[in-house]
Amino acid sequence: MALPACAAPVLWPPLQPEREAPARTTCPRRHSRVEAELAESRPGSVAASVSADPPRGVSRGFNSQPLTDEPLKASSSQAGAARAPLFALLPRGRRRRMHDLRRRWDLGSLCRALLTRGLAALGHSLKHVLGAIFSKIFGPLASVGNMDEKSNKLLLALVMLFLFAVIVLQYVCPGTECQLLRLQAFSSPMPDPYRSEDESSARFVPRYNFSRSDLLRKVDFDIKGDDLIVFLHIQKTGGTTFGRHLVRNIQLEQPCECRVGQKKCTCHRPGKRETWLFSRFSTGWSCGLHADWTELTSCVPAVVDGKRDAKLRPSRNFHYITILRDPVSRYLSEWRHVQRGATWKASLHVCDGRPPTSEELPSCYTGDDWSGCPLKEFMDCPYNLANNRQVRMLSDLTLVGCYNLSVMPVKQRNKVLLESAKSNLKHMAFFGLTEFQRKTQYLFEKTFNMNFISPFTQYNTTRASSVEINEEIQKRIEGLNFLDMELYSYAKDLFLQRYQFMRQKDHQDARRKRQEQRKFLKGRFLQTHFQSQGQVQSQNPSQNQSQNPNVNANQNVTQNLIQNLIQNLTQSSSQNSIQKENRENPKQNPGQEQSDSNTSNGTNDYIGSVEKWR
């Protein structure tokens, strides 16, 4: 008897069958039916053991069932009989891996079935809930048609609409963050870019009454002429950052030339070899390190014009600007700066033509610097210039005898210094606050009609904010700087009132411009309409004369109305410009506003009469 093709000799030893199992000499594919009959006839064989219980280490799957005596289908019985001895002959590790794979497949099928049934149950319950809601809402309409069918259709339409909206939103803006941003943009209005930087209320209650001239600060700065901006830099107020903005972040016809590695920049006027800015980063400390108001007012004209005679000097306008800061924060920041070794020994403190003597201005330390001093020692020094520094640097020291404390009593001296600082600050061309960077930028741009390239940044975390002090130390610092505290309160009130005034003025100007545009477009429309009517009438003169004998009179009236309308519109535009100038200078032309209002009312009456005639 010849062997089949699948029974060719192999190079490895044949597998040893288990006990009581017949030796395999034929191909299992060809003689599967014979093996199945033998397995069924011998209950103690391997096939019977496999069919009754899986081998050791292999658990039965979820969908597997024990073999019964009932006859199955021919194909399934043959396949099971063929697989059983083969599965038993596999090594134990491979049998375990195959069983794990089958078990995993059964778990996935079970999870999918559970998920499908759960979603079906959820949809069914949702359908009933929504149906009940719609039945409550559309109860009166239940008599018209089948309500269940209508509610199902409406529910389907809503679901489809929601899915379509989700798909469109995902297509337009993929990503969760972008979707949330778009939803927030639809739900909330656009924020004001000039909102309060310190997260306080945008509106405040004014404490001081200022006139319109005090609030309206608009300087006619001629950068091509002889005008000069003088920056009074007070220590630890953010003046270094603002000074860099002036030379590096401002739009000019001829920008400042700043070289790498150099602090000073060359800021020349267009077409001239002359500077328009007197500051640390343009001219350096020409009047001394951190020169105050008293030093700058006497030093700047001499430095800019050199040794010229006063009669030969050009008529310049010196526009002084400065930056102020909260006194407690500024004091702590200066203390930290002194701890790092700052001394400001190069400050001249020139007053009335001479520097102070050592008796008038003693030193608080004996060495080269005051580095490493504790806060208590810094506050205990009675000659510390950090106390009330902002008031001292903004006031006219010649009014109190400079640094000689014996000229007048201390109480009177403090009062004179405070009033002088307030007056100088109010009449300055511009001043800003460190705590309001964006508002400072806005007011500077409106005052000098000069725009910055990039917006200012508000830094809420500084060296002073990292210093933790208790309430007792804070009250003591406020007591040492009581003049600065009062000056800062005054400056903050004036600053915020100026900001609100300028914002309202911008809104009024924009509204006035829109009204002028509407008037102009209305006049153009009337002019075009009358001209088209005149052309139609001129094309059919005989027909018009036969129908209306007074057509010539109407044409003359139309032409006169057009001419008067154009004349009145030009007069109203010129009167609006004059009215704008008079609002800026109300004291020069007090009676002009009434005439302007009369003219505008006359123009409106005239336009109304034209509409009535039409």
| Residues 6 or more apart in contact with residue 444 via CB below 8 angstroms | 321, 430, 432, 450, 452
End-to-end CA distance of the chain: 123
- Reduced 3-state DSSP string for 213-254: HHHCCCCCCCCCCCCEEEEECCCCCCHHHHHHHHHHCECCCC
| Residues 6 or more apart in contact with residue 86 via CB below 8 angstroms | 28
CA within 13 Å, CB half, 181 = 7
State phi, psi for 408 to the nearest 5 degrees.
Answer: -145, 165
Amino acid at 45: S
State phi, psi for 397 to the nearest 5 degrees.
Answer: -70, -15
CB 58 within 8 A of CB 95: yes
Helix, strand, or coil (residue 134): helix
CA dist., res. 140 & res. 320, Å (int): 78
CA dist., res. 158 & res. 258, Å (int): 64
Mind giving me the DSSP string for 266-284? Answer: B-BPTTSS-BSEESTTTT-
Amino acid at 550: N
The strands making up 430-433's β-sheet, listed across from edge to edge, are 277-278, 228-232, 318-324, 430-433
Helix, strand, or coil (residue 442): helix
Which of 99, 233, 245, 290 does the annotation list as catalytic?
Answer: 290
Q: What is the DSSP letter of 307?
A: T
Rounded to whole angstroms, what are the CA distances from 476 to 66, 377, 479?
A: 91, 13, 5
| Residues 6 or more apart in contact with residue 378 via CB below 8 angstroms | 335, 338, 370, 384, 386
Rounded to whole angstroms, what are the CA distances from 575 to 523, 593, 596, 598?
A: 17, 10, 6, 10
CA within 13 Å, CB half, 497 = 19
290 is catalytic: yes
Helix, strand, or coil (residue 402): coil
Tokens for 97, please give them. 């891996």
Neighbours of 370 (CB within 10 A): 20
Sign, CA dihedral 102-105-111-115, equals negative
Q: Which residues does the annotation mark as catalytic?
A: 290
